[in-house]
Amino acid sequence: MMVYSWQDLLSSFRILLGEPLLNTMAIMLGSTLLACLGGIPLGVYLVLTSPGYPLAAERLYGVASSVINILRSIPTIILVILISSLLYFRYSVYRPTDFALLLEAVVMWAIAAIPLCARLVESAIKEVDKGLLEAALACGATVRQLVRKVLLKEALPGLILGITTLSITILGTTVMSETIAIRTIASRAVVRATIDNDGEFIVSGIAILAAIITLVQTIGTKAARHADKSR
């Protein structure tokens, strides 16, 4: 039985809204951004090599698709631990600062999120009417022009919603961040509530996460609606 007072609850908010909030936002926003740098080109590549698209290559698409499926079936935390254990050698060279550790975490989470990002981008672009593809090619567009000026532009609302989903998924996986010594809101809430028996942290943690998710989703939905001129 975990008993806590109002004062405990308030102080748990104060603690979570400090460093854990900064770490959480750094991973959520930074990793989403980095994952897009890898995931968008990969998603575009998946679309172009799909059957019925300009660079259709059944084998290549099949291989890329399976690799993504396999990577996606591995839980984020296992990928992160794998990458971090590959990085252990660095301790023999130097001792990373807290900031360097956070940067590493952002990169690791981004790498782990690339396969999901690629899939979300692929499905958003495949929503674009294929007739439009034909029209652009008939106008004499090159594949590069087709991607930049037609596919990405027309898929923008779907891409925004996909990236919103991606960032919220990344937020969810930060619950495991303490395995590499990064304290985020979700991880703190779990550790404090289960190991230190401070139940108030799970309450304040959920409240803060709910607020962040609501905010991000609201912004994403609004931005997508603004970008969609088809209604």
Which residues form the interface with another protein (CB under 8 A)? 129, 131-132, 134-142, 145, 149-150, 153-154, 156-157, 227-231
Smallest distance, another protein to C-beta of residue 49, A: 17
Smallest distance, another protein to C-beta of residue 133, A: 9
Q: Which is nearer to another protein, 22 or 141 (CB)?
A: 141
Q: Is 18 helix (H, G, I), strand (E, B) or coil?
A: coil
Q: Which is nearer to another protein, 52 or 94 (CB)?
A: 52
Dihedral sign, Cα of residue 72, residue 45, residue 162, residue 106? positive
- Contacts of 177 by beta carbon, 8 Å cutoff, 6+ apart: 23, 27, 105, 183, 184, 186, 187
CB atoms within 10 A of CB 84: 16
Smallest distance, another protein to C-beta of residue 144, A: 10
Q: Which is nearer to another protein, 38 or 54 (CB)?
A: 54
Token representation of residue 148: 């930049």
Length of the chain measured in residues:
231
Q: Which residue has the tokens 């799909």?
A: 50
Smallest distance, another protein to C-beta of residue 131, A: 4
Q: Which is nearer to another protein, 57 or 81 (CB)?
A: 57
